[in-house]
């Protein structure tokens, strides 16, 4: 398992370009939890709750992280 940095990313730091929008990776960096757990959580939310609601929450989180890193 990869180790996560102990400090939050610097303002203006580039997003993770190897991910779709970097939401799960950013959540992992902020909480020091493996991003895989967030990815599984989003998948379970899509299957168990509502696809549209989960995608909406994901896009809102992506927009929030984009604005916060600018």
Dump pLDDT digits (tens) for 1-53: 566 555 555 555 554 455 667 788 888 888 888 988 888 988 888 888 888 88
Is 34 part of a structural domain of the chain? yes
Is 9 part of a structural domain of the chain? no
Is 35 part of a structural domain of the chain? yes
pTM of the predicted model over 0.75: no
Distance of CA 9 to the CA centre of its chain: 13
Computed from CA positions of residues 52, 13, 1, 34, in that sequence, does the dihedral angle turn out positive or negative? negative
Query: Range of 52's domain?
Result: 23-69
The residue assigned the tokens 């493996």 is 34
Instruction: Kindly tell me the burial class for residue 68, based on how many C-beta atoms sit within 10 Å of its own C-beta (0-12, 13-18, 19 or more).
Output: exposed
pLDDT given for residue 31 in this prediction: 84
Is 37 part of a structural domain of the chain? yes
Is 51 part of a structural domain of the chain? yes
Return d(Cα 29, Cα 52) in angstroms, integer: 26
pLDDT given for residue 35 in this prediction: 87
Count of domains for the chain: 1
């Amino acid at each position: 398992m990869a180790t996560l940095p102990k400090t939050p990313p610097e303002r203006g730091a580039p997003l993770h370009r190897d991910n779709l929008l970097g939401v799960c990776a950013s959540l992992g960096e902020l909480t020091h939890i493996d991003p895989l757990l967030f990815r599984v959580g989003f998948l379970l939310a899509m299957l168990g709750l509502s696809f549209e609601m989960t995608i909406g929450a994901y896009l809102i989180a992506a927009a929030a992280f984009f604005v916060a890193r600018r």
